[in-house]
Amino acid sequence: MQLWVGLGNPGAKYAANRHNIGFMALDRIAADHGFGPWKARFQGQVSEGRFGSDRVILLKPETFMNLSGQSVRAAADFYKIPVEDITVFHDELDLAPGKMRVKQGGGHAGHNGLRSIHQHMGEAYARVRLGIGHPGHKDRVAGYVLSDFFKADQDWLDDLLRGISEGAPALAAGEAQKFLNTVSLRTAPPRSSTGTRPEPKPAPAPEDTRSPIEKLADRFKR
């Protein structure tokens, strides 16, 4: 059994915020894979389902971001899930929009949701880091993450969420690289008319070995 946690803030006011991309990822997984209805439990919302023989509990803490660890601890204790079997989906300022990385353990890099989980669970859980980009200055971070995605972000955001959902069975099976590859096919597909091979790069222009006098003479011939 695994516990997948999406980080965000509860309520319609925050639903489309960049900070809520973790909630969005879990909502997409639950909807696409026929998970059970969301129910209020463990100071959050819970949905259960399976990928083959792999049972997965989805959790969206409703404690607000800074206290996410309380909800995670309650769910982990109830289901007796070790910290190594917890995966947290969260926004990542240090990745470009639409980029994604998977990481096991490590620091919280100042993310308040991760900081809270560290306090309650330690640092050995896995993370799916979902890039939202950086506003350019640390003083703008709070307003940036608590603002909605722009309309121009919708295409890459939808591709990222689709890829996460399509790759979810691989993630549940412990196949992190396959999960990453599946997401990449959505967010950076091969560029060709058939979708099977990347377009060949144009061949470099041949080097011009003529002397300056020859080049000048050719100009007068035209």
Catalytically annotated residues: 19
What is the per-residue burial (b if ≥16 Cβ within 10 Å, else e) of 20-37?
bbbbbbbbbbbeebebee
- DSSP codes joined into one string, 48-114: EEEETTEEEEEEEE-S-GGGHHHHHHHHHHHHT--GGGEEEEEEETTS-TT-EEEEES---TT-HHH
State the CB neighbour count (10 A cutoff) for residue 42.
Answer: 23
Give me the helix-helix angle, 21-32 and 154-172, nearest 10°.
60
Alpha-carbon gap, residue 76 to 85, rounded angstroms: 9
CB 145 within 8 A of CB 132: yes
Longest dimension (CA), the chain: 87
| Residues 6+ away with beta carbon under 8 Å from 160 | 98, 100, 130, 183, 186, 187
What SS3 state is found at 154? Answer: helix
